[in-house]
Structure 1
Amino acid sequence: MTNELEQQTVTALGFDADATREQALATLLEQVMSTYSVSDDEGPLADAVEAFLRKQSHLTVRRHGDTVVASTDFGKPQRVILAGHIDTVPVIDNFPPRWLEPGDPLIREDVASAHPGERVLWGRGATDMKASDAVLLYLAAVLDGRAEDGGIDPKYDLTYVFYDHEEVAAEKNGLRKVVEAHPDWIAGDFAIIGEPTDCGIEGGCNGTIRFDVITHGVAAHSARAWMGENAIHKAAEILNRLAAYQPADVPVDGLVYREGVNATLISGGKGTNVIPDECRVHVNYRFAPDKTIAEAKALMMGADCGAGLGNGEHVATGGMFEGFGIEMADESPSARPGMDSPLAVSLAHLVRERTGRDPLAKLGWTDVARFAILGIPAVNLGAGSPLLAHKHDEQLPESELTLLADILQEWLTSAE
């Protein structure tokens, strides 16, 4: 982290007691956004989140690594988990953040068209997913169970989870680590992940596997290429198979998921005058929730290939890359929509009333899959457009904060 980035890191979160909801939400978002938290550097933001939550006397706060978990104990019959990751992908000249006033040329045309006359917060993490984090922090403060003293009493007990390392390999995921070390911290009846969804519900998620497809050759001087065997040239067949792939739309429990198989990295060669003896094409398969990880791997490399995380290279015995070497890099399961849960049904009904939107399929991978493994129904619901996640001009219209806060607070507090 550079000194400039360190200087932009704040150490305290909070808002004035007399602030309006809009002011409180905007303040929290600006503070969270101003804290640099690219994956592996979440510590300062985790510290600030923990300190903020410990000031709320109605919460029991626990921490594991850079994941902070805060829970109420109001004696309610059901518990809802509200989760958001605090890390971001790397900065691309989009930190520190700044507010853009209407008419600023940095406001995207699509954002300005959908939100005319509205200011926008621009910068890394605006949509993915610090806006949702700000809303969850606000709710953690105001849903205090003290209706008799002017506070707000939710109809559920609540667990807030702010976790690290979501944007990187699954083995680092802070939520995964808490589930393994302290499963009782994450017990509940329903979960909401604040991934960006334009304040609509996106159910389930695609699974993902990442692996290298490998070709081997024989090194030689490029002036005598016939003495070697060019591994990069052999990779042309891998690229041909990828180019021939047609993305599949897969209906699952009423929602339609789109699959994809793509090369995301390619490497090979050891010198500009050396015939390469190895080439690796890194492939990412995003598969619909009608498949397990084993079924997805079978489609790519055959059911008995034997390739697993950390066990080196194996030869694909079937599937899309039959005959090539395979080395696994990462894998995460898919999750079915889970929209038949009574809590999901009632939340979807409110979201439809407020936004006119029916649930859609979540095409990316999210931690709803982790909750699905635990048997906890979960949906994605968050502020900001998923189409802007990870973009250099990531930005969030201010009204998305209040819309998400309104939906969640009404659902968590209103009688059926």
Structure 2
Amino acid sequence: MPSLDVTASSIELTRQLCDIESVSGDEKAVADAIEAALAGAAHLEVVRDGDAIVARTNLGRAQRVVIAGHIDTVPLNDNLPTRFETVDDVEVLWGRGTVDMKAGSAVHLKLAVELTEPSVDVTWVWYDHEEVADALNGLGRLVRNRPELLTGDLAILGEPTDNGIEGGCNGNLRVALTTRGQRAHSARAWMGSNAIHKAGAILQTLAAFQPEDVEVDGLVYKEGLNAVGVTGGVAGNVIPDECVVTVNFRFAPSRSPEQAVEYVRALFPGVELEVLDLAAGARPGFDSAMSQELLAAVGGEPRAKFGWTDVARFSALGVPAINYGPGDPTLAHKDDERVPVAQIPEFERGLRAWLTRG
């Protein structure tokens, strides 16, 4: 079984964690290694749910923080094992998972073992199946099976943020807009009704759409409404009787999921609309003393998270949640995924300082 040396530097531990292959659906080996690394930590209560590992301190502190990160990656493409490189005069650790998001998860593991007397109680979570269908998500499974393990005053998700603090996240809505027509031979098109032509009005509305910048609790979120797929037609000589335009709406967390659906419905009156996917966003989470103390410890100005992340699961539980982790999020899933080496101990210092504050 692969093993992890938690006494090694956070840089070396990141490399060890990344080199245990754990494409979504194949997380058992890395989960086993994390569980084994935690086995000697007497200050932690360790619970396993499938390939998700939860480790909790129970020190009777007045506050509790939940610190979580996923342990799966997208598929490999000749980008393991990891290696050190120099890119634009910056030393980086190159390889799958270095950004998304094993550098953060490795630091979490090191601190979980080393910090026997943190200033707050801590729930550490390493979970599976984040990169695939929502129904498989390990954090979502914990929400359903063991929500009591995820309660706290603040949650921190180790999503890559270049070690900045990103609050909340946008919501995500995907709908199918369907136009109907009548089939006919294309040589006698006047005898039918072309559903694809009717979809032109939908595309014109989308092309003219001006996305809004929405301020929520002091952070500005960018919304977006875009066609992401068009299907229609049955043969090269048949007038199509159906056309489906798939539309994705990334909405600010000030909107509820229901409000997002009604907003899109109002843009396309009279058009048949089916909701395919819908996930609530999360507000920034900076209205608590704990989050303000974290901001002070890390430094810099908080930013809005434009994509959807699992902070929304914590927000739905009533736990304010933020994103904070090493790595450039624009390099996630890329074949040249890489994290600046210096960012890993920097992230460790920031999180350690906050968890051991007086």
Using the size of structure 1 for normalisation, the TM-score is 0.80
Q: Which has the higher strand share?
A: 2
Q: In the alignment, does 2:195 pair up with 1:231?
A: yes
Contact 2:4 2:17 in 1 (8 A): no
Q: Which runs of 5+ in 1 are unaligned?
A: 1-10, 146-152, 302-318
Shift of the 16–337 alpha-carbon distance from structure 1 to 2, 3 Å rule, reads closer
CA displacement, residues 131-172 of structure 1 (integer Å, 9 cap, x when unaligned): 1111111112212x2xxxxxxx21122111112233344333
Separation in 2, partners of 1:176, 1:337: 20
Shift of the 264–168 alpha-carbon distance from structure 1 to 2, 3 Å rule, reads farther
Q: 72, 97, 100: which one pairs with 1:125? A: 97
User: Structure 1: which amino acid aligns with 2:311?
Assistant: V
User: Structure 2: which amino acid aligns with 1:264?
Assistant: V
CA displacement, residues 77-98 of structure 1 (integer Å, 9 cap, x when unaligned): 221111012233344x353243
Q: 35, 38, 60: which one pairs with 1:75? A: 60
User: Structure 1: which amino acid aligns with 2:5?
Assistant: F
Q: 2, 5, 11: which one pairs with 1:12? A: 2
Contact 1:12 1:52 in 2 (8 A): no
Separation in 2, partners of 1:69, 1:202: 24
Look up the match of 1:349: 296
Comparing 341-350 with 391-400, greater Cα deviation is found at 391-400
Q: 313, 322, 325: which one pairs with 1:382? A: 325
Look up the match of 1:324: 271
Look up the match of 1:101: 85
Q: How does 1:384-399 map to 2 (within 5 A)?
A: 384-399=327-342
Q: 113, 128, 147: which one pairs with 1:141? A: 113
Shift of the 330–65 alpha-carbon distance from structure 1 to 2, 3 Å rule, reads farther
**Pairwise CA RMSD of aligned residues?**
2.1
Q: 220, 229, 234: which one pairs with 1:265? A: 229
Shift of the 247–36 alpha-carbon distance from structure 1 to 2, 3 Å rule, reads farther
User: Structure 2: which amino acid aligns with 1:365?
Assistant: W
Contact 1:264 1:284 in 2 (8 A): yes
> Aligned to 1:283, what secondary structure does the other structure show?
strand
Separation in 2, partners of 1:52, 1:402: 20
Shift of 1:124: 2.9
Q: How does 1:253-332 map to 2 (within 5 A)?
A: 253-301=217-265, 319-332=266-279
Shift of the 37–320 alpha-carbon distance from structure 1 to 2, 3 Å rule, reads farther
Comparing 365-374 with 244-253, greater Cα deviation is found at 365-374
CA displacement, residues 335-385 of structure 1 (integer Å, 9 cap, x when unaligned): 111212000011101111xxxx21111111122222222222221111111
Shift of 1:73: 2.0
Separation in 2, partners of 1:49, 1:265: 40
> Aligned to 1:195, what secondary structure does the other structure show?
coil
CA displacement, residues 63-118 of structure 1 (integer Å, 9 cap, x when unaligned): 22332211122332221111012233344x3532432422xxxx4xxxx3xxx3x4
Using the size of structure 2 for normalisation, the TM-score is 0.92
> Aligned to 2:24, what secondary structure does the other structure show?
coil
Shift of the 271–133 alpha-carbon distance from structure 1 to 2, 3 Å rule, reads farther
Contact 2:82 2:96 in 1 (8 A): no
